[in-house]
Structure 1
Amino acid sequence: MDDLEVLRREFEAEDGSFLLRLRGDLHWDRQAFGRLERAMRRVCARYEAEERLDRWLVDGYWFLADFVPGWTGHPNFPRPEPDYYEAALERLHDLQNWFVTGRSPYTDTHVWPDL
């Protein structure tokens, strides 16, 4: 499955998606988040030089960066360990910024660690 198809499935909260597990099951699925995050990163790199962006992609990046911290911010939400959780939220924000501006917040030599 190509990255755009992964993002479409994730942004539409289809079966097995990170967003569906987060919203419906109140479960942070690390494997699903990793799949989503890697696809978001690759799409950012692919679209860096684009002058026009598809609305559904912009909406998806924006929604995730805003929704996930709000939804999981409740004290009773079963969040993963704090270091991982904070890094994941920062990553969503960084990817939102990169996609919308077309500029990575890091240098070209930055290595994005897997979460």
Structure 2
Amino acid sequence: MADAATVLRREFEAVDGSFLLQLRTDLVWDRVAFTRLERAMRAACERHEGQDGLPRWMAEGFYEVSHFVAEWTAHPHFPRPEPAEYYENCLERLRDLADWFFRGFHAYQEPHVWPDL
């Protein structure tokens, strides 16, 4: 989990090369950076599943990402070179991961496979 936690900290702090920094400052949805963020979020959910007490910085990051990305990219002039379904699926994934992280379980029936986006 250390690697995922390191990735999440860098993403949530919007350091150079992070998905969030590129999204906010360059108006670029970097697919590779999104995948890195999504996989780290998924790993954190697995690691903390069913546990009481969550690291505050991580909880704040999950909350912010699940809201900010949808709000920022909702602007009609935000560049969307991919099909609309891709962005819809990504936003749904962020909501699902935040839900899983905060509840301690995901809403899907097992066995569930999280498809790549």
TM range (shorter): over 0.9
Q: In the alignment, which residue of structure 2 is the partner of 1:93?
A: 95
Q: In the alignment, which residue of structure 1 is the partner of 2:32?
A: 31
4+ aligned runs moved over 6 Å, structure 1: none
Superposition map of 1:1-115 within 5 A? 2-79=3-80, 80-115=82-117
CA distance in 2, matches of 1:18, 1:100: 22
CA distance in 2, matches of 1:92, 1:48: 16
CA distance in 1, matches of 2:98, 2:30: 20
The amino acid across from 1:4 in the alignment is: A
Superposed CA deviations along residues 20-56 of structure 1, whole A, max 9, x for unmatched, are: 0000100000000000001100110110021100111
CA distance in 2, matches of 1:108, 1:45: 13
RMSD: 0.9
The amino acid across from 1:90 in the alignment is: E
Matched-pair identity in % = 57
Structure 1 gap segments, 5+ residues each:
none
Superposed CA deviations along residues 49-73 of structure 1, whole A, max 9, x for unmatched, are: 2110011111100001100010000
The amino acid across from 1:101 in the alignment is: R
Structure 2 gap segments, 5+ residues each:
none
Q: Secondary structure at the match of 1:108?
A: coil
Alignment size in residue pairs: 115
Q: Secondary structure at the match of 1:24?
A: helix
Displacement of 1:108 in angstroms is 2.5
CA distance in 1, matches of 2:28, 2:13: 17
